[in-house]
Chain A
């Protein structure tokens, strides 16, 4: 049981390049989330999904797109990377309808945009 995995772990992009971050979970969770973490800013929600085939905008969605074609995978895309997107990206997942739905986090992807 691997939990939540993210690939890649590190990436360096040039401004204007595109990339996709992959998140996979093997806990059969309905909900998945993408966050970014910047120094002194805590966690900010980018996009989330409440089930296969659904996505929704979070707090800071601009410049990112997501897809959830399979229940276990949640992809985060950057179509045209900008230096402001330099950050550490975390994927998380959580279970079904419950009032105490803890989130399980991946190890993170450290992205640098030059």
Chain B
């Protein structure tokens, strides 16, 4: 079945460091890919998405590119802030589907 694998955390960075959180997926068909973010004490919220190969999703300085050849959707940010400390979930929905398949989540700590 469809699945999402993301790097284990926690990831600890200093402020202004470069961030990469790896995500790879297994799916039949042509899924849409998502990154969700969960701030402490809150529910998940959509950070960015990409619906077809080579699309780049971006929001709040975060970017991820849909790479079909490597089945990846890695999250990147050039300069993290303390306020980016959160749990990040990679996810997919397969073509014609509605249920979201979530990765296990990666916790990010950013130190001042």
Contact = CB atoms under 8 A, between A and B. Distances in A.
Interface of A: 4, 31, 33, 41-43, 45, 48, 50, 90, 92, 94, 97, 99-108
Contact of B44 (A41, A97, A105): A105
Contact of A99 (B44, B95, B99, B102): B95
11 contacts: A33-B99, A42-B89, A48-B99, A92-B44, A102-B34, A103-B36, A103-B44, A103-B46, A103-B100, A105-B43, A105-B45
A22 B61 CA distance: 35
Contacts, number: 56
A100 B96 contact: no
Interface of B: 30, 32, 34, 36, 41-46, 49, 51, 89, 93, 95-100, 102-105
Specify the main secondary structure of chain B where it touches its partner: loop
Nearest to A100: B32
A55 to B, nearest CB: 14
A41 B95 CA distance: 26
Contact of A97 (B36, B96, B102, B103): B96
B44 A90 contact: yes
Contacts of A50: 98
A100 B98 contact: no
